[in-house]
Chains A and B, each alone.
Chain A
Amino acid sequence: MSTIVIGLSMGLLLFLLAAGLTLIFGMLRVINFAHGSLYMLGAYCAYQIVQTTGSFWLGLLVAPFLAAAIGALMERVALRPVYARDHVYQLLLTFGFILVIDEAVRLFWGLEYKQIAPPDLFSEPVAILGSQVPTYRLFIIGFGALIAAGLFFMLERSRYGMVIRAASGDPEMVQTLGISVSRIRTFVFAFGSGLAALGGVVAAPLLPIELGMGFSVIIDCFIVVVIGGLGNIRGAVLGALLIGMTRALGYTYAPSWVEFLTFVLLIATLVLRPEGLFSRKGRAA
């Protein structure tokens, strides 16, 4: 039971990150290498807010907005001028963001790792079907599922979602309907950055908060996005759960095979179904 809980919580945490990455890719056709850095920034913000105010919940609320503002700035100031150029420039630029954010974090918080505890509400484990399960993991599952449901609702039912889906497919056509696509790009980049930071806050009580944390998670995130199908939210959910469960089961039953299994999944996808296991043609969600 606790393996399933760990797998699901890892999966939903990965989803928060992969969703942002894939939304940004769908709209901007840019793979944002700095996504992991925004996740790390979210965790450090959570740490800082917990230190100063004692409230984890305030961190959960504030950090995403902060990261969204930074994301909006990155898109407007740096990415926008290079859309017309070769893709390499955009990749290099997002790589540059990593260096800037990492350096800023180092200057601000130093090299020593930080830690925060889960909110008091989740300090006691509960017993489910005879096994002890950390309540914070259950919170992650519930919260992640809530965000996933919200995202689906936003994408499938709201006007914003409709415009994002249309603009991900044919931005020029959307422009000719009077809609400013450059604003949508900024919005989507900011939104994805906010999701990354949200993931960082949620992960903060589970891991040491340190400079390298963005890097290790972004690799898993790329794998999720490739397995799910680039630019595809439904795929991101399923891919994230698949990777989360693979990892949790692997750690329990075959710890030295975990990385191997993950990469087998990745390679099998690329060979057998390069458009992603869960992609449906032409769909953003």
Chain B
Amino acid sequence: MSLLQMRNCDVYYGKAKTLHDISLDVEEGEIVSLIGRNGAGKSTLIKAIIGLMGLERGERLFDGRDVTGLAPEALSRLGIAFVPENRRIFAALNVDENLRIATVMGRTGAWDLRRIYRLFPRLEERKDTPGDALSGGEQQMLAVGRGLLTNPRLLLLDEPTEGLAPLIVQDLVAAMAAINAEGVAILLVEQNLKVPLKLAQRQYVIDNGRIQWHGQTGELLENQEKIEALISL
């Protein structure tokens, strides 16, 4: 049984149909990536998974249970964490508070403040810094740490490496692998194949609001030309 199943989902912004008949699964403990170019519909799909966008048609199942009608707060409590594009760090909160707020209603489990600070020591050094005074890399670590503190079973990462220096991307990739090794499934959104090829076992390619291809990472390598064409600008 899959951890997450999106089945035949249509999503609209007002009257504009943005996602068409999307189906996507994530298995327990797996890393899956969702790849697509600018405007392909990646963030919209992620928001539909966490409940920030409603499904006009289709179903959302978590752990085999139909959770189509649930609000984001309920989905979070079931174990889905959202690390959004642009990080969305709370500007009025300092680093420590940005993490602690995730523990207010978050699930209890293996991840606590101490472990997040061990995973990202840089955050502990900047504990009292306001959220809006961080570098891009620090913000990304904070967003990942905040998500982890809800003790998710599935972590949604929307373009976590965007705009970061290569060295910081390396750290982040290592952190993702470590998080996944603890049994947390990851759905990783990217615009290119670099990090997905390193981390993910399965890949989905999205364009024009439709899933255009999906398969094992090995199969992707066999079709690399076709897929590069789907995601290049």
Interface residues of A (CB under 8 A from B): 159, 162-163, 165-166, 168-170, 172-181, 281-285
Do the beta carbons of B92 and A283 come within 8 Å of each other? yes
Min CB gap B79→A, angstroms:
10
User: With A and B bound together, what is the CA distance between A176 and B88 in angstroms?
Assistant: 11
Given A162-B101, A179-B73, A180-B73: A173 and B92 interface contact (C-beta under 8 Å): no
B178 within 8 A of A: no
Interface size class of B (residues with CB under 8 A): 20 to 34
Do the beta carbons of A282 and B92 come within 8 Å of each other? yes
Residues of chain B from 86 to 118 with CB closer than 8 A to chain A in the complex: 88, 90-93, 97, 100-102, 104-107
Against A, the Cβ 8 Å flags (1 = close, 0 = not) of B45-88 are 00000111000000000000000000111011100011010001
The count of A-to-B residue pairs whose CB atoms sit within 8 angstroms is 78
Given A177-B106, A178-B105: A166 and B93 interface contact (C-beta under 8 Å): yes
Do the beta carbons of A284 and B101 come within 8 Å of each other? no
Min CB gap A22→B, angstroms:
14
Do the beta carbons of A176 and B104 come within 8 Å of each other? no
Interface residues of B (CB under 8 A from A): 50-52, 71-73, 75-77, 81-82, 84, 88, 90-93, 97, 100-102, 104-107, 132, 146, 150
User: With A and B bound together, what is the CA distance between A163 and B101 in angstroms?
Assistant: 7
Do the beta carbons of A177 and B93 come within 8 Å of each other? no
Closest to A166 in B: B90
Closest to B94 in A: A162
User: With A and B bound together, what is the CA distance between A166 and B93 in angstroms?
Assistant: 7
Closest to A285 in B: B92
List the B side residues contacting A284 at CB < 8 Å. 92
Closest to B84 in A: A173
User: With A and B bound together, what is the CA distance between A283 and B93 in angstroms?
Assistant: 9
Min CB gap A185→B, angstroms:
13
Most chain A CB within 10 A, of B52, B72, B88, B132, is at B72
Partner of B92, one of A159, A165, A176, A181: A165
